[in-house]
A and B are shown apart, each in its own frame.
Chain A
Amino acid sequence: MRLLRFVARRLLLLVPVLLGVVVVTFLLVRVLPGDPIRTILGPNATEADAAAARARYGLDQPLWRQFVDYLRGLGTGDLGRSIQSGGSVTSELALRVGPTLELVVLALAVALVVATVLGIWSARRAHRIGDHSIRVLALAGNSLPDFWLGLVLILVGYSVLGWFPAPSGRVDPDTHLTPVTGADLLDAVLTGNGPAFGSALGYLALPVATLSIVIVAPLLRSVRASALEVLRSEAYTAAAAHGLPDRLLRRGYLVRAALSRLPALAALVFGFGIGSTVLVEYVFSWQGFGQWALRGLLFRDYPVVQASVLVIAAGYVLVFLVADVVHAMLDPRVRI
């Protein structure tokens, strides 16, 4: 009950946060230099043509009126029409969010598993060669630019070894996957499409690996540091001195305590991962949310930029909410 109250309270907080984001984004995007209308007009367009295009997108209205119209649309789930494509931003967003979320969630999941396993393993061998090797490798992965790492993995995994599909999409079109959520792997499961599942998994392997390698280092360091603290604690020393079996020591004393700091960090890394997808999506022809938002920004496509920032803000708030709940479940000292 207390947990539900906490979640409800935090969800209520979403309203003022998102309202603030809406106001700030709406104003900031219009302060940026750049005219979105000029980018969609042909070379022979006159000022009258430009004025007609502005009127078509409501940009001829006073700012307050545009804002009221935008808010009214938000209330009904209408995020406006893209100036570049003329299409519904809500529909475009729905198509773009799924693939990116799938990529980031899977990469984060892989990174969390790797960080947990290797972090604890490394802590238990602190200052030995295995520990040093893992720390150096993680640091190296963290230092590599993601687009470069992606290209190297493509070169090796696709071009040299031929193990992975060409980086041109997310699933083989010949598998005739019916989109449901936009997340192809999930859609393959939901529609029971086995070939599409295998294909989507193949396409996901390299971008997930790229993103995981880039984000694993801070997670691994956190787990290792926490595990070292536990290993050096009096409670753990006493338990070990009493001759408790290694498995019990590891599961009962070490793992849970070592993971207590991970949720908050993972939430931060999730945000970083969303940002990193812009380049990863470009390299792997992923056509997800990152590329869509970047194009919107480059062409000052106001409705697209506003929708992108709103989604990212909402995503951050929700991810931190989940992180707080998980933290409370892992660490009994935390009261929510």
Chain B
Amino acid sequence: MARATRPEPPELSRRSVLQLGGGMALLVATGGCAAGGSDDDGPDDPAAATLRIAVPSYPSSWDQDFVGFDLTALMLYKNVFPYMIDYGVTTVDGAEVLDTGTVVPTFAESFEPDAEQRVWTLRLRRGVTFASGNELTAADVKWSKDRAFAAQSNVAGIYRTIGLTEADQVRVVDDYTVEFHQEFPSALTRQIQAISLYVFDSQEAQAHATEDDPWATEWFTNNPPTGGYFNVADAVQGQQVELTANSGYSGPEPAQIGTIRLTVVPAAANQRLQLQNGDVDIALGLSRRDAQDLREAEGIQVISAASNEQVAIQMSVTTAPFDNVEVRRALAYAVPYEQIIANVYGGDARPTQSLVPLDMPGYDPRGYPYTHNPELARQALDAAGVGPVRAELVFETDNEVQQQIAVLVQSEAAKVGIELELTPLDPATLGERRGQRSIALQITTGQLWVNDVEYMLATSFVEGAALNYSNYTNSEVEQTYEDSHTIVDEAERNQLWLRVQEILAEDVPWAIICQPNFNLPVREHVAGWVQPMDGLARLRYLRTSA
């Protein structure tokens, strides 16, 4: 019966064959047309060339005064805002890197202090214009600094370290001269201003300001700034930003390449494929493993340079049992430093013997006398007399490297009697718990934007410092930090930093793991990469080799 009701299968008609064939042809044709050719040859005229860079995200805002910690956005600002001064370039082990010891005027003509190093005078280059055609004058600098103080955000925070706390301390002398009156002289001024002295087109801003929005935040959120080494020629929200060299820039070291296209490619696997296929020239979101794999890939070179990025475990000195210095020492001895460098970083990281980063003026290898030594770890734990130690070890969700480190540390710490529970946290929860200072142990990764121990203390080791997740305080370190504000002599400062490192070695608020090297896979014809010590690429140096 069932067999009788089953209909016969229909025959494939001529029409359906044609429909099927047509559909396939359309699909193939569409794909073929859209795929386009990938041209990996370097262009004839490097200045007229286009470089294609894959970035992991689109900038969350164009307004630097109000943006969060968005690396893509901050990198773009470095290239599209007129920054009055910037770091110079030096060569280290064959790699070009930004030289934090040399700060040079770029859009400014000069930036020099008075004899007391308390009043700094910024003289502007004449004839620098924004895309609107407005000339960059002292009024723009003043308006930009007033805005930064009103924002009470990034720049206002960092200016405190050099004694700039009020908008009145920034004074216009004439159309091309501005003075910064600091409360005290500071050795940090040049470096702090190198990362803070960006200028808005104030006439354009005021045209878009309203009574409710006197600083034109709405306008600057959606409209890119202009007047830097590059202007934003086109921005497709969420997808791509096209930069063109600013032909109106007349200062030193103008952009070497005509056009740069930054394309948003969040997935690292896709960045890698596109780099291999020649659809992008530089991939700014690849994992360490991808970079390692690509060393042998055809048409690709991996640029390597030493980095000031530090990887550490911050131990809360106010949370039991890590309020006991012997427990902190026990963990410092339990961390498998060499194993992490070998297994997580494939040997491509530098071991370090101080909480002061390698290459920072004042670094001393006596600053961290801890190596992997389970026996000493057990002894320290016995000396602590706190019984079994249990704690959570926090790291960033989706941070593969931190997770690998956490697993290795957990394994080795267990061998000496420290039981660690691994806790990945998303950005908002991590931010909140850091604000509450309620994390006993956390893995931190980062680089200091100012290459100076005073800045390091200001951000990480004095009471109330934002990155002081250890809640570390030491009266001598506090006093040294206060004293250092007005000491500008380098030898004298280095003496201070030696004592600071001795104290930190004694108190061990961090287990400092290593400084991983920087690796960037690029197409072979890409040249001119300068390794930024603040993580923000200066695109003006990029070029294509002939």
Contacts and interface: CB of A to CB of B under 8 A. Distances in A.
Contacts of A240: 5, 7
Contacts of A155: 273
Contacts of B33: 198-199, 202
A282 B466 CA distance: 32
B452 to A, nearest CB: 14
B221 interface: yes
B6 interface: yes
B302 interface: no
Contact of B68 (A40, A125, A151, A165): A40
A96 interface: yes
A159 B267 contact: no
B209 interface: no
B459 A164 contact: no
A298 B428 CA distance: 6
B403 interface: no
Contacts of A173: 234, 236, 239-240, 242, 261
Interface string A257-293: 0000000000000000000000000111101100100
Contacts, number: 216
A53 B152 contact: yes
Contact of A168 (B35, B156, B242, B270): B270
A162 interface: yes
A162 B38 CA distance: 10
A188 B261 CA distance: 23
A198 B273 contact: no
B279 A300 contact: no
B6 A154 contact: no
Contacts of B32: 163
A85 B267 contact: no
A287 B218 CA distance: 22
A44 interface: yes
B262 to A, nearest CB: 11
Contacts of B263: 168-169, 285
Interface stretch (A6-14, A28-36, A101-109, A216-224): A28-36
Interface in B55-85: 58, 60-61, 63, 66-70
A16 interface: no
Contact of B431 (A39, A84, A86): A39
A315 interface: no
Contact of B264 (A41, A158, A287): A287
Contacts of B28: 163
Interface string B327-342: 0000000000000000
Contact of B273 (A85, A159, A231, A299): A159
A303 to B, nearest CB: 14
A285 B270 contact: yes
Interface in A232-272: 232, 236-237, 240, 246, 249-250
Given A32-B428, A287-B238, A291-B266, 15 more contacts: A39-B431, A41-B153, A42-B157, A45-B466, A85-B60, A88-B218, A158-B35, A164-B35, A165-B35, A169-B239, A202-B30, A232-B2, A250-B10, A283-B267, A298-B426
10 contacts: A43-B459, A44-B466, A86-B66, A124-B9, A168-B280, A169-B239, A202-B34, A205-B27, A283-B267, A299-B68
